[in-house]
Structure 1
């Protein structure tokens, strides 16, 4: 028989093994949280925030600071974002959309190659609904994109990219054409026809229940861990809210969502878009509480740039139409630009795309300009086979100016980003430096360039694309882009005195103009 180790050695070994197990567990927990797999709302464990009363809200004409807590302090790390997002969610529920209930006590259903059934029971009430399925060619299991409403979405491109289409009728869960005190559909069968929750959250709840069934199905046909959502017009509004309120959704793709969708509430009155009172009164899309703000959106403690932020750092592809002012595309571009600041702070700036640079002005048309970014987003976020960076392709016809709407800066969280100085606090360049270009890879539609900077370390390089060029992405520098992606400003981020970028040339192979100054 082997002798037992001495007590001190035995205690030391046990301590080492325990420490190793804790370290491994912490790593696994971190990786699990980063993936957020199977988590509808990871903020449920955060302390309940003390929400303000509607009567005490001040008038704030600029967009609320998405990095500021309700107690007035600002978050300082990426780890803080989980509970900060939860505060934003609670504000959005109370004042804008209405509450999205947690998963019901019982959700069951079936998944086949052509159909999904959902059965829900909660507190003695029950409801059922179903959705159709269209599979792509090939062998599953497949990721899937839930298409709200059945029009406006490019289902052919979705399936060609390798994802299934789930045909979801939101009206089965929350019907239009009803009064606010007599709402109808599966959601209201469970939570009451006089629920103060609006249709957009009810539709989002229905998608969440579909995902519940996918997760329970075993994944032999459709994967439960790779779901996207899309829809156009009123269903673009629903898509936007759905992606914000369920963190299991890997890719959110609203199309021409209009007022009550992506456009900032504060910007809608000055743009000639559908008025807030019209959108609130047309259908019970928004929560009942929003009725107090239709004439005073500056009193809202949240705005839609924070709905964008709730989706971060997951995939977001906003498709918009600059030809119809009623859709509020200028205000939507501001929401995307402001929300993108949260993406950048979380180290996920490449996960958001806003694209309104399109020629066809018809509402909810399938547009050629969106097909390639649609395919790239599906590859990146659902199939995990691509890494294309997101872009801001904002049409000059409806380009918002974020500087007019914010008085807050973007913090560096966990050292992943550099703080973005405000116009009043930035130091003007005082000296000169020099740059040289080095050509990189070239493709049919784009090319890469590397900039080498000499003459100092605290440089500011401005690169201006030559029409009709625009910048797609950049690396090894802290960069900002103009609203139309044609002017790139770069500063050192600790990676040295060289940085690179990709130019979408649109037929103009001339290298962009460049200047360099020392701050």
Structure 2
């Protein structure tokens, strides 16, 4: 199945709407009607080759186009985003293939099946479904591994929970030259694409099947994604690389997730880039050349956050475990929030690391209210987002130390 391609009127409509949005803008006051989102709305943009990247210890300017000019209008963001998309694939995660030749499957009240064919090869996987009380169709949150997320609050807020086993799509414990799972059955076990992007591909195929299902059980235009720890890394990448995802909620994602790559190697106690790259083939193979020299990367995670903008983003981090690099995470959030600010969507991003419980992947009282608020704003359509920056004082990064660019007012 193939999806809608980007049309300029979508860009214009999105940035005049300051209310919450799903895969289409929610019908709230001030919102504009738009055509449905696609997996990658900037796929038709003419992305210029910027040449070999130069070393830069500061965070790259998210508003600086490959041709050396800075964008000045909101209508230019989609193609600038496409440039970041391509750099992130090439240098960090590996390629996410275009939508496959065929995606079929079923949606029931307790399961989703997915069958994919592309390039003459096929694979299948499934996910379980848990519906909230009430009458559907329901929005849904795809929960990586069924682990670490506050699934009770998700359901109580009116959204279904789709429990997704990412290992069925990209298995951990495999060498880089013999990757396994549904993604690699189609694209080859020596693919240079890392597990995080393979898992994101699986999320996109689940959304394909929901779209095909007719919307009797699950809404085709209101999907979120979440997960904790390695699954938080996965949720972060999935939300960045599929613009149909209305709400992205990574939890304690650590190195390889939200924290800036330029910061983690020097953050006391944080997992290094080399350690994260070697622990599992999460990142794309090309990233291995930069684990000791992240300054050579032309992209960083504040721009991956920018790829999510202006859609809903709730980043939850744990400052009590040094390994998780929460200080670098706060810098990423502050930097990415500048993209939201430029697009007039500051309320659509929340970062929360001010928590009392230091246990890894615990369900926390501090996160319950923002979780409910964002589900209501971006999935059920009966709320307004209340963006916040609740940063733990012991892991508070300083964005001014990491940037030499300013945030434009995009016309």
TM over 0.5: yes
Q: What is the correspondence of 1:40-439 to structure 2 with a 5 Å cutoff?
A: 40-53=39-52, 57-272=53-268, 273-414=270-411
Higher relative contact order (CA 8 A, sep 6+): 2
Q: Deviations over 1:434-461 (max 9, x none)?
A: xxxxxxxxxxxxxxxxxxxxxxxxxxxx
Task: Answer whether contact 2:10 2:35 (CA < 8 A) is retained.
Answer: no
Q: Of the two, which has the highest radius of gyration?
A: 1
Deviation at 1:48, TM superposition (A): 3.0
Distance 1:198 1:174 in 2: 8
Deviation at 1:59, TM superposition (A): 1.5
Deviation at 1:89, TM superposition (A): 0.5
CA RMSD of aligned residues (A): 1.4
Distance 2:166 2:263 in 1: 28
CA spacing shift, 1:86–1:29, aligned 2, 3 Å:
closer
Task: Answer whether contact 1:98 1:201 (CA < 8 A) is retained.
Answer: yes
Distance 2:394 2:338 in 1: 23
**TM superposition score normalised by structure 1:** 0.73
Q: Deviations over 1:369-423 (max 9, x none)?
A: 0001000000000011101321000010100000000000000101xxxxxxxxx
List 4+ stretches of structure 1 deviating above 6 A.
25-29
Distance 1:80 1:281 in 2: 37
Distance 2:162 2:8 in 1: 36
Which one has the bigger strand percentage? 1
Deviation at 1:31, TM superposition (A): 4.1
Tell me the secondary structure at the aligned position of residue 107 of structure 1: strand
Distance 2:8 2:250 in 1: 36
**TM superposition score normalised by structure 2:** 0.92
Q: Would you say how many aligned residue pairs link Structure 1 and Structure 2? A: 387
Q: What is the correspondence of 1:497-516 to structure 2 with a 5 Å cutoff?
A: none
CA spacing shift, 1:205–1:28, aligned 2, 3 Å:
closer
Distance 1:153 1:271 in 2: 26
Distance 2:265 2:114 in 1: 40
Distance 2:233 2:37 in 1: 24
Deviation at 1:315, TM superposition (A): 0.1
Task: Answer whether contact 1:112 1:221 (CA < 8 A) is retained.
Answer: yes
Unaligned runs of 5+ in 2: 1-6, 15-23, 26-33
Tell me the secondary structure at the aligned position of residue 85 of structure 1: helix
Deviation at 1:123, TM superposition (A): 1.3
Deviation at 1:70, TM superposition (A): 1.1
Deviation at 1:111, TM superposition (A): 0.2
Distance 1:342 1:30 in 2: 16
Task: Answer whether contact 2:129 2:162 (CA < 8 A) is retained.
Answer: yes
Distance 2:47 2:193 in 1: 20
CA spacing shift, 1:317–1:406, aligned 2, 3 Å:
same
Unaligned runs of 5+ in 1: 1-24, 415-519
Task: Answer whether contact 1:36 1:248 (CA < 8 A) is retained.
Answer: no
